[in-house]
Amino acid sequence: MKRCVILISGRGSNMQALLRAQLPLEVAAVVSNDARAPGLAIARAAGVPTAAIDHRAFAGREAFDARLADEIERFAPDLVVLAGFMRILGQAFVQRFAGKLINIHPSLLPAFPGLHTHRRALEAGVRVHGCTVHFVTAEVDHGPIIIQAAIAVLPQDDEASLAARVLEQEHRIYPQALAWLARGQVRLNAHGRVDFPHPRNAPALIAPALDA
């Protein structure tokens, strides 16, 4: 069975979704850049080893990244899973775990990379918003896409309501992506894109809906 290490910075709601999913994947450890992260206690309660490495204790990003990478390597993971990890990882770290580093982002990439995605989606007036699971590359939020989920933006949506509905979809697609990876059903092809199982005749999401 393949092994993963999950990186978190806070409550770890996506981490919890992954633990609940009972994936064909051993969660070898949960690591945070903040010892106060509530998700660490949740992981320990589930019997998962934890570690905390405070980024503020290091002179710069490179030193923190190197220490974090060494800690991850102790668990010999096949995958390194970012689940609300709020630190930008440098090129050396990304290269060290190339092809193993996975992230979930709360937008339909390549739209709205970075922070405040839901606010920016509302300001842009998009009709469809969502979330993306992707491989991590040195260019932030631009790695090869594994799976996306889309929802309609409703007239009454504000930033909080939109974020909550997108988070529901994050909890659905992240376990699916990792299940595919654990079973070897998705891979990066020679063009740097993801080959994956896909049903034919998948339904379209149209927002607003067409007249009956």
Instruction: Give the C-alpha separation, 51 to 208, whole Å.
Output: 46
Residues 166 and 10: their CA atoms lie apart, in Å, by: 18
User: What is the CATH number assigned to the segment(s) 2-195?
Assistant: 3.40.50.170
pLDDT of residue 20: 97
pTM of the model: 0.95
Residue type, 212: A
- Band (173; pLDDT cuts 50, 70, 90): very high
Res. 199: pLDDT tops 90: no
Domain residue ranges in the chain: 2-195
Residues 78, 27: Cα–Cα separation, whole Å: 10
Rounded Cα distance between 57 and 63, Å, is 10
When pLDDT is cut at 50, 70 and 90, the band that residue 188 belongs to is confident
Is residue 55 annotated as a catalytic residue, yes or no?
Answer: no
Active-site option among 55, 105, 134, 171:
105
What's the number of CA atoms in the CB half-sphere (13 Å) around residue 178?
34
pLDDT tens digits, one per residue of 29-44: 999 999 999 999 999 9
SS3 category, 202: coil
Residue 197 has pLDDT above 70, yes or no: no
